[in-house]
């Protein structure tokens, strides 16, 4: 597999804490706007460029997106962000709640993505792909990294970890308690050692950022069509990502809340659920599932443990035996009438980072009628789904800690 060094555009050492920001898709425009009022150097000005305008602006217009490009150029011109003097690979460590993941910032091949060597496990929506591809084209930059993983090998893991004994370029704890450390590897021999080592790897896997990867590949094809001298080595043929070993990554639960019982009374609903699940009232509040194929359900200030009955799913099929599939196929669709969780407005999804208590809060508020707590999808199941060329149901995985934007930018 191809791991390629690049000249990263990154914040000056004393500006990293001010510039780096959460991914654009986990904050609202208003949250980004408030941060910009407090901190004029936030990277939201690039990734959420509508905050540079009045609230009435068309957030999808070229003018708005190009303002993000202008801000990025101003950051560089004013010395807030600096362009590496030569290609580098960046060793990156995130520590959070006793967990640690160490990987590399580099650029990766859009051709290998199109060829299926960079494997995915989620479907992408064309409208979101289109929007992201426009951002890449107009900014001429990859501003947010894709989250990749490889099957851990001791020799590869050790090769990366050895660079962490050096003095880091960045070393700080952000507002959410995540400890970020980054080392710049510019020595050509050290870079070549990493590049050569990863040539022995058969595949990379997308953990998070499916739309960013798809958009990068789409933008690369469009850039190539516009370039009569296209060679395949241009910057647009490679996208920004951070690559981690699979065994260091952490998936949290991804829970569901539903607004109504699809016209059923509470008693009718529980009776229907009990046809497919063993339903047990539990006193523990809140109730968090302790293993695969176990669900928590919160209804009318009571918690229940649900266990699927024999025959409700195919144990030999990796997708249908996922807990998200079991819940969807045996309860959400047939009982609550949620055929397409991607588009149905009656369902919402709550990342495990918010805690099980958030499910209680949403139901007790009256906004939602019932909540479902799931056990986290495993990394092994994700790898198996991707290797079999299959697709997980939407909102199956919530990786934490996530990757920030603005730590490193890849200019095209």
Output 58 or 327, whichever has higher pLDDT.
327
pLDDT-wise least confident of 50-59, 179-188, 242-251, 378-387: 50-59
**pLDDT at residue 54, rounded to an integer:** 85
Give mean pLDDT, residues 258-266. Answer: 96
Please determine, for residue 325, whether its predicted confidence score (pLDDT) is greater than 90.
yes
The per-residue b/e assignment along 91-127, b for 16 or more CB within 10 angstroms, e otherwise, is bbbbbbeeeebbbbbbbbbbebbeeebbbbbbebeee
**pLDDT at residue 59, rounded to an integer:** 80
**pLDDT at residue 126, rounded to an integer:** 86
3-state per-residue secondary structure call for the chain: CCCECECEEEECHHHHHHHCECCHHHCCHHHHHHHHHHCCCCCHHHHCHHHHCCCCCCCCCHHHHHHHHHHHHHHHHCCCEEECCCCEEEEEEEEECCEEEEEEEEEEEHHHHHCCCEECCCCCCHHHHHHHHHHHHHHCEECCCEEEEECCCHHHHHHHHHHHHCCCCEEEECCCCCEEEEEEECCHHHHHHHHHHHCCCCCEEEEECHHHHHHHHHHHHHHHHHCCCCCCCCHHHEEEEEEEEHHHCCEECEEEEECCCCCCCHHHHHHHHHHHEEEEEECCCCCCCCCCCCEEEEECCEEEEEEECCCCCCCCCCCCCCHHHHHHHHHHCCCCCCCCCCCCCCEEEEEHHHCCHHHHHHHHCCCCCEEEECCCCCHHHHHHHHHCCCCCCCCCCEECCCCCECCCEEEC
**pLDDT at residue 128, rounded to an integer:** 86
Please determine, for residue 353, whether its predicted confidence score (pLDDT) is greater than 90.
no
- Residues in the chain, total: 412
Q: Which of 222, 211, 368, 365 has its CA nearest to residue 297?
A: 368
Give mean pLDDT, residues 11-26. Answer: 94
Give mean pLDDT, residues 352-363. Answer: 91
Place 286 in a pLDDT band, splitting at 50, 70 and 90: confident
Give mean pLDDT, residues 114-139. Answer: 92
Please determine, for residue 202, whether its predicted confidence score (pLDDT) is greater than 80.
yes
Considering all CA atoms of the chain, what is the largest pairwise distance in Å, rounded to the nearest integer? 69
Please determine, for residue 75, whether its predicted confidence score (pLDDT) is greater than 80.
yes
Please determine, for residue 67, whether its predicted confidence score (pLDDT) is greater than 80.
yes
Place 70 in a pLDDT band, splitting at 50, 70 and 90: very high
**pLDDT at residue 387, rounded to an integer:** 96
Please determine, for residue 284, whether its predicted confidence score (pLDDT) is greater than 80.
no
Place 114 in a pLDDT band, splitting at 50, 70 and 90: very high
How does pLDDT run across 294-317, given as a tens digit for each residue?
A: 999 999 999 999 999 999 999 899
Greatest mean pLDDT range, 24-33, 113-122, 351-360:
113-122
Place 394 in a pLDDT band, splitting at 50, 70 and 90: confident
Going along the chain from its start, the domains and CATH numbers come out as: 8-250+401-411 (no CATH), 254-375 (3.30.1760)
Residue 149 pairs in a beta bridge with 205, 244
Q: Are strands 251-252 and 398-399 parallel, antiparallel or unpaired?
A: antiparallel
Query: What values do phi and psi take at 237, rounded to 5?
Result: -80, 0
Terminal-to-terminal C-alpha distance of the chain: 21
Place 260 in a pLDDT band, splitting at 50, 70 and 90: very high
pTM to 2 decimals?
0.91
Query: What values do phi and psi take at 2, rounded to 5?
Result: -90, 125
Place 58 in a pLDDT band, splitting at 50, 70 and 90: confident
Place 26 in a pLDDT band, splitting at 50, 70 and 90: confident
Mean pLDDT of the chain: 95
Place 140 in a pLDDT band, splitting at 50, 70 and 90: very high
């Amino acid at each position: 597999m191809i791991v390629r060094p690049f000249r990263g555009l990154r914040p000056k050492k004393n500006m990293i804490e001010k510039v780096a920001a959460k991914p654009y898709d986990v904050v609202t425009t208003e949250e980004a706007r408030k941060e910009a009022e407090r901190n004029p150097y936030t990277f939201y000005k690039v990734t959420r460029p509508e905050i540079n305008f009045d609230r009435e602006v068309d957030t999808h217009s070229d003018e708005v997106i190009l303002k993000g490009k202008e801000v990025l150029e101003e950051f560089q011109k004013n010395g807030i962000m600096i362009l590496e003097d030569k290609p580098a690979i960046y060793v990156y460590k995130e520590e959070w709640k006793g967990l640690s993941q160490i990987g590399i910032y580099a650029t990766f091949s859009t051709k290998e993505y199109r060829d299926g060597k960079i494997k995915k496990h989620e479907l992408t929506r064309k409208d979101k792909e289109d929007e992201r591809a426009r951002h890449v084209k107009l900014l001429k930059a990859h501003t947010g990294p894709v989250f990749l993983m490889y099957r851990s090998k001791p020799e590869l893991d050790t090769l990366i970890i050895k660079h962490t004994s050096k003095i880091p370029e960045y070393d700080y704890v952000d507002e959410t308690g995540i400890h970020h450390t980054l080392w710049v590897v510019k020595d050509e021999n050290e870079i070549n050692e990493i590049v050569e080592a990863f040539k022995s790897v058969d595949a990379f896997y997308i953990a998070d950022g499916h739309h960013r990867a798809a958009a990068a590949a789409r933008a690369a094809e469009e850039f190539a069509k516009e370039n009569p001298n296209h060679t395949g080595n241009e910057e647009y043929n490679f996208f920004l990502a951070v690559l981690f070993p699979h065994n260091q990554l952490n998936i949290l639960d991804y829970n569901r809340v539903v607004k109504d019982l699809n016209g059923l009374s509470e008693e009718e609903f529980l009776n229907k659920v009990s046809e497919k699940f063993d339903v047990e009232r539990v006193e523990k509040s809140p109730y968090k599932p302790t293993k695969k194929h176990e669900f928590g359900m919160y209804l009318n200030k009571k918690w229940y443990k649900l266990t699927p009955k024999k025959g409700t799913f195919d144990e030999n099929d990796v997708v249908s035996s996922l807990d998200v599939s079991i819940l969807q196929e045996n309860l959400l669709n047939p009982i609550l009438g949620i055929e397409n969780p991607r588009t149905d407005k009656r369902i919402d999804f709550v990342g495990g980072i918010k805690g099980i208590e958030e499910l209680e809060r949403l139901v007790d508020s009256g906004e939602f009628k019932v909540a479902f707590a799931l056990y986290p999808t495993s990394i092994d199941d994700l790898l198996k789904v991707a290797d079999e060329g299959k697709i997980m149901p939407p909102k199956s995985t919530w990786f934490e800690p996530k990757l920030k934007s603005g730590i490193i930018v890849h200019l095209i």
